[in-house]
Amino acid sequence: MDTTVTLTGTGTPLPVPGRAGPGTLLRCGEWAAQVDAGRGTVLRLAELGLRCPQIGLLALTHYHSDHLVDMADLVLTRWVQGEFDPLPVLAPEGPTARFARRVLDNWEDDIAVRSHHGGRPTPPALDVRTFTPTETPTTVWRSGTVDVSAVAVRHEPVEDAVAYRFDTSDGAVVVSGDTRVCAEIEQLARGVDVLVHEACRTEVLRARGKDFIADYHADTVELGVMAERAGVATLVLTHLEPGPTTGDEANTFAEEVRRGGFSGQLVVGEDHTTVPVSSEPVSSTAAVD
C-alpha cells in the first residue's frame, strides 16, 4: 500500500520510557505529513528512516506544550539537512498559529551563526497556513491526491483545538488531537479506514483525584461507543492516559474500548506502530485486539 499511518509518539506531558510526545506521521507515496511534534519527534522520524526535509506538511492540532515542544527541532533540523524552502504548517487561527509564527524567535543567534558559517543561502522559514475552526468539517489543504479537512473539537478550556482528516487515494485517516469524545469527531470520522484517537482511562484518573485531566480527554468506553456508531474500520489508540508501562496495562485500554461496543480492528498504540490505510493487517508490535 502507498499510504500508511505511523505513531511517532504515544505519550502525554508526563514522560514514560519508550513513549515520545504526541505525533502521527502519514505517508502517501513520496509525500509525508506530520501531525503535531511532541518531544522526540525528530528522533522517531530518524528511526523510521525519514529525514526532516521529507516532511511536506506539519499540521498542528492545538497549543499544548506536549504537542509542540519538538516543532523547533523539526524546522531547524530540516534546514540543517539542506532544505531551504519554507515548511508548510497548518494551524488553527489563535494561540496555535501565534506559537507557529514565533517558534524560531529564540533561535535567532544560532540561525545567524549557522547561516554565516555554513554558507546557507536563507534562514529556516515556515509557511503558516491558518484557518478558523468550525463545528462542521472544512477543507483546509490540498496537495496532489491528498485532501485535508479539519473540525473543531472539545478540549475546553483550550481554545481552537482541531482534528484533521486526510482523504487519500487509498482511503481516509482521521487524527483526533486532544479532545473529549464528541459529535464533531464522530462526523469527521464517519466511515474512515483509520481513526487515530487519544484515549483516557477516566475511571482510573478520577480515582486518583485527577478529575481536571479526565474532564477534557476521551473516555475509553465512550470512545468505543462513538467509533462503533461512526463505522470506523481500524481504531488506533494514542496519547494514552495514564501512560501504560506494562502490556497488561496497555491491554486494559482495549478492554474498555470493547466494553463500549467497538467491533472493528483495534490497536493500542506504541511508538512506531504502523497501520496501512487498507484492509491489510497491522504491522507493529502493538497490542492488537
pLDDT at site 159:
87
pLDDT at site 281:
47
Alpha carbon distance 15, 18 (integer Å): 9
Split into its structural domains, the chain has a count of 1
Chain segment 108-144, per-residue pLDDT in tens: 999 999 998 888 889 999 999 999 999 999 999 998 8
Q: Which domain holds residue 145?
A: 3-288
- Give me the percent of the chain exceeding a pLDDT of 70: 96
> The domain that contains 264 carries what CATH number?
3.60.15.10
Distance of CA 49 to the CA centre of its chain: 19
Q: Does residue 1 have a pLDDT over 80?
A: no
Q: At what angle do helices 220-230 and 247-259 cross, to 10 degrees?
A: 50
Phi and psi for 248 in degrees, rounded to 5?
Answer: -65, -40
Beta-strand ranges (E) seen in the chain are 3-9, 23-28, 31-35, 55-59, 87-92, 126-131, 138-143, 146-152, 162-167, 172-175, 194-200, 234-241, 265-268, 274-276, 287-288
pLDDT band, residue 4 (cuts 50/70/90): very high
Q: Does residue 286 have a pLDDT over 60?
A: no
pLDDT at site 143:
86
Q: 2, 36, 66, 178: which is the annotated catalytic residue?
A: 66
pLDDT at site 278:
76
pLDDT at site 288:
54
pLDDT at site 85:
95
pLDDT at site 136:
95
- Burial status of residue 170 (CB atoms within 10 A of its CB: 0-12, 13-18, 19 or more): middle
Cell of 70: 519538538
Q: Does residue 285 have a pLDDT over 70?
A: no
Distances (CA, A) of 126 to 23, 90, 97, 161, 171: 19, 10, 11, 20, 29
Tell me how crowded residue 82 is: count the other CB atoms within 10 A of its CB.
Answer: 11
pLDDT band, residue 267 (cuts 50/70/90): very high
Chain segment 32-86, per-residue pLDDT in tens: 999 999 999 999 999 999 999 999 999 999 999 999 999 999 999 999 999 999 9
pLDDT band, residue 279 (cuts 50/70/90): very low
215 part of the active site = no
Distances (CA, A) of 209 to 112, 214, 234, 239: 48, 10, 32, 20
- Give me the percent of the chain exceeding a pLDDT of 90: 85
Chain segment 206-228, per-residue pLDDT in tens: 999 989 888 999 999 999 999 99
